[in-house]
Structure 1
Amino acid sequence: MALVVSTGAFLALDVGAQAQPRAAGSPLVNETFTQATAPDFTGVGSACLTGAPAAALPGPGDHPLGGCPEGVGPVPPPNGAPHGYLRLTDASNDQSGAVLYNNALPANQGIDVTFDQWQYGSTTPAHPADGISFFLVNGDGALTHPGAFGGSLGYAQKLPDDDPTATFLPGVDRGYLGVGLDVLGNYFGDWEHRGNGCATRSPAGTGFRVPGPGANMVTVRGPGDGTEGYCFLTATTSNFTTTGPWPSTLPGQLQGPLTALPPGATPAQAEAALEPSRRRVHVELTPSPSPVLTVSVDFNDGTGSHEVLSTPAPQPVPPTYKFGFAGSTGGFTDVHLIRNVVVSSNQPLPQLNLVKQVRQPLPGDLVAGSQVPYDFVVTNSGTTNITGLAVTDPKVGPVSCPRTTLASGQTVTCTATYTVTAADVTHGSIDNTATATGTSNGQTVTSPPSSQSVPIERPAGITVEKKAQTPGPYSVGQTVTFTYDVSNTGGAELTDVHVIDDHVDGITCDSTTLAPAESPGDSTTCSGTYTITAADGTAGSVTNTATAAGTADGQTITSPQTQLTLPVGAPHIKLKKRVITRGPYKVGTKVQYSYTVTNTGSTTLHDVLVSDDRVASITCDTTTLAPGASTTCHGTYTISQADANACKKTRAGGSGKGCAVTNVAVAAGTDPQGNQIASEPATVTITLSNARPPHHKPPHKKPPHHKPPHQKSYGQDGTDSLKQL
């Protein structure tokens, strides 16, 4: 039956005092949602303010909070400030709305949240829907969207109707805690894959149940991200077995009695009519190291607030919180309203409080050169303004704050970016401490220090180095022993460590488990043997390739390949030598020689050189020769007087011709086993011109004789002497 009252009665009704901050804590947020704006909150979907002038909704997604359109059901009238409400949904079907507070709040002294909620006016009164959630997320990331709606209440994940062909809808990013004020009851159950991946499941299991298994119940779900987690933690029921029903232990009804407003009700009249349907909720979370979550509800029935739930809170507790509210309808409906949100710390904060945190998500694995973004959440918990606000972090460097004056009760987030160094990687973490300072009433105020250690986890890694333990030279039929030095170069333990070689079978390792790399990394030695085949002899060498592998966190980690080539057969080197400089050659002539060195074997040669018994310095174009390759070497020799003198000694009587100068050269190289291979000697000879010394011929005495008559006579030049007569 509709609640109808006279205008005069509206004025006489007590509409309820606004929620006040708890005396024990420090105030952080106070938003009534009674005015036309709420600038610190972002609206999602159907969320709007009835205190603002009527307006069309901007559609799905995020938007600034503005006015509401005309609604279905007994909704407060528009343009109602200062009697307005945050309207998450009206009573139409398939509505979903949320508000998000995307500003980090300190968590080091716990948190207390008080708010008023209304769920009423269903057009399907037998089954009102769905409920309202209050959720906390880790404040080190951006809060830009809620989770899935329906039975997930804008916090948890959801596979619609458990249809495997449907799109899996994620929960809120980096969720920490979701308190469901569940009128319909599906938030209690794990149907539609709520709690996906959780070891502990809802008592109601994963099946679909009609009606919902946890009607008129407060249910708490824990941390989650994406489509994993958001596990059932506890609920206000007397039955935690897997056999239903699961009756609620709440001492009152979450849903209010109002079903209609009188036609033309003013905002103030609507406020009075809505008062009996108001339920004040208090969520208290104590600080670490043993955080406890307590939920209390005032059912507005004159009996005061009732503690309905208390349970250990999930750990670890985030360094900061962000929060939101969400509500939705489906085939069943209700109007969902929020008012008087007051947030404070659970215990008093210092006058100037600082919480330093790394902003998420980080850019993958941290290596030298990675950029790490930091947030510094600063709160003025004193009663006076703080000016000259600054944050100092000696390791990170300059910190930028959006304002330098902080009003009493105000929180601001300052930022900085740090570049990871090689020293950080070696150390395995980034460790730093920051402080905030300012001036209050002429006195310097300094926050307690806030420290953080960011681990640098090296990804799993493995390397292998292969060696031949059997010395060469190698021949067909010879058995060669290989060893493999395997090292864990990553930050995870490796199990099932083994080596695969394309030529060697039966490789065994001293250890098959390697601890994470420290300095130096954990390592083991593996070994195996191979017998050289006739095919290897024909090829002149054998090359085998090896990799090492191990398992880390269920994944196979494989090393880069390593190769080793062994020569099979004798290496060989050949030398050809020739003279480049043309004659004539004499004392002082610089004679250039060219040496052609060829690797005529089947083994690569290194440190190739040429030695010449006369040429002191010989250079080669290259000193490494693959099989069949050649190089040219160069040297110069200057003919000396000693060469000429040597010619004098060896000259027998002198012939008027030059004498020979011969030099001998040898080429050499080193095979892969370190053996030096030499060529056959190569010689070349040049002839010195005019090398004989001058001498005098004794005068020739012609003996007297008598020419016979008619005999020819010749001169010394061989001509016929008769021709001279």
Structure 2
Amino acid sequence: MEFPVIEPFTSGHTANPHWKLRGSAALNGSLELTPNQKGKAGTAFLDQAFSSKLGVTIDFDFAVAGGIDPTFGLGDGFCVYLIDGQYTTEPGGLGAGLGYAMERRATPPQPGVTGGYVGIGFDNFGNFASDLAGPDGPGSRSNMLGVRGSGSGTEGFRWLTGVQVPNGFRADWKAGAHLQVSVIDGRLTVRRSSTADPNGTLLLDDYPLTDQPGQQQMPPTFKLGFSAGTGGATASHQIRNLKVALPVHMSLDMEGPIQADAGQRIHYLVNVSNSGPNDAPDALVEGTIPTQLSDVRVECTARDGAVCGPASTSDGLHQPVDLPVDRSAQIVLSGKIDPAYEGPMTCAALISSPTRANAALQHHDSIRTQVTIPPANADQEIAGQWQQTWPEDALGHVVSSNLKMRANQDRVVEWEIRFDVPEGTRVNPVQQQWYQVKEDGQNGSVVLASPGDGKHTIEPGAGLTVQVQMLYPSKAVAGTGELRNLRVAEVTGG
């Protein structure tokens, strides 16, 4: 089988003909594993083997609703399972077995799946943790993520681990409820997310499936299935938007100002990296660009063998990146804030891949910036740049800029100019200044201040120009020489 497997389950048929629907499983706008009826068990089983060596991540949306008896509530739950790739299977036990494990209460006992390796149960009612589904469970526990191990028929299915989840697994489609199940190097991770929580919450982190008592050796290949069961308690268990893919851990974090001035050019830094275990040749960084920004620009710097593709900002940020394992890139998104705007604005970004499944803890981030009308603004005009070869302790690439300040309404007597610079950058120590240098950039920020003589004021209409030379470690680090998040603040006391 080739990855990725993309299966919306929203039509009356599957894209892959190797799906086998058994028991109560049916397609009706989603993959409905059980209807909201008593005593049902359904399985959707992909009868194609895939290698267990590279890992697998299973992403899908879910909805669980119904319940016809208020005494019981919702029941029982649903399950994602992997079996040994050399077998095929029918549904496991209904009710407590969640369609994966056995159901001992039935007469005769209902068998579990054939060649099962692991079943991850999302159990609202709680009997998946009881001895009805197999040995060694803690007893019935409602709202439980439970993991049962290897088993076949009426043998095995030992309880491995579990965690109670507040409010269980009740959801409708509007919530964007989503689950991600990853098995990488024999270790299991489960994350739940939603529209309100895009990075998600870890329910189970890196749990070792191998070498557990009663656990079979991890087979060379797996086959994948979904199942669900009801007993006296009922629910409709539905799945949509399935993606089965090779896992990557592509993390994303953003940097940007929490305060900015109207009319200022603002800069957001988006840092992305891939820690593996697989390459991501088609990673895509997408972002929401605030509508208050104009003259939007994107600069992508790839590191250590990563490659940035051509960017687009016509409908939000779209930046392709080829991210091999242990490679990274930084994207600088900038734009000029509407001079008349005052209030909050938010920039957000996420990283994904059409062929890989992102299992990183953080793949989405956002910056909320409060914009105010400033007493003065500054524009940068690059006056020149050169390689500085003397003195020995000040070698690098110099960018000389004229910072043209203008007051918006009233005269500004005492002021500070602030902007951000890359690591290793500082105000050129060779340059002589008539203004104060309060922070020279070695901490990532530059602060230039009026000399305090009351003579270098910013007048409405007249303006004031400050020349500053910035010394970068190299021309590559300097880039275009544009100063990040340049703004002017009025100093009013103390």
Q: TM-score by structure 2 length?
A: 0.47
Greater helix proportion:
1
Which structure is larger by alpha-carbon Rg, 1 or 2? 1
Greater strand proportion:
2
* Structure with greater contact order relative to length (CA < 8 Å, sep ≥ 6): 2
Q: TM-score by structure 1 length?
A: 0.32
